[in-house]
Amino acid sequence: MVVPLRITVVVCLALFSAYAVAAVAAEGATPEDVVAAAFKAVLADDFEAYLVTLHPEERETKTQKDHVKRYQWKRFRKSATRYLQEKRPDSFAVARKEVDGDRVVLYVQDRTQPERMPVPVRLRRTGKSWGIEMNSL
């Protein structure tokens, strides 16, 4: 069977994108690195890459993944650029950071409406890796 080059390139790019996000969400990455990887995934419209940034317990079942896609991902896709400068995934501003052991809440500032309350992203560490537990962006 001959696979058209275009399909092969698209599949390779999708795998590379998910791999790159997985590397950022891996051991040693900070909570801010994981949120930047989530922004990178949403800007690329890559749901699978976004799933990698979630805490493993938030993406264990098909039902959980479907729920994330239907609600959290849909909202994040619509609003992500509000929190960034020039669509750069690492350009979000953390207005406040709350640390409680293996849990961190980053409050991300809306760049288009700075008077709005910062929006929370809750992360949890398992071992040495951080994952998004709740994303309100």
Task: Tell me the pLDDT band of 19, cut-offs 50, 70 and 90.
Answer: very low
Task: Give the count of domains, the chain.
Answer: 1
Return the number of other C-beta atoms located less than 10 Å from residue 63's C-beta. 8
And the tokens for 115?
């008077």
More confident residue, 87 or 23: 87
Side-by-side strand order, sheet with 94-100: 94-100, 103-108, 119-126, 129-135
Q: Which domain holds residue 39?
A: 5-135
| Distance, CA of 1 to CA of 29 (rounded, Å) | 41
95, 111 contact by CB (below 8 A): no
What values do phi and psi take at 4, rounded to 5? -55, 140
CATH number at residue 27: 3.10.450.50
pLDDT at position 89 over 90: yes
pLDDT at position 26 over 60: no
For 33-47, the pLDDT digits (tens) are 999 999 999 999 999
Contacts of 37 (CB under 8 A, 6+ apart): 21, 24, 25, 29, 49, 52, 53, 89
Task: Tell me the pLDDT band of 28, cut-offs 50, 70 and 90.
Answer: confident
pTM of the complete model: 0.82
Indicate the average pLDDT of the chain.
87
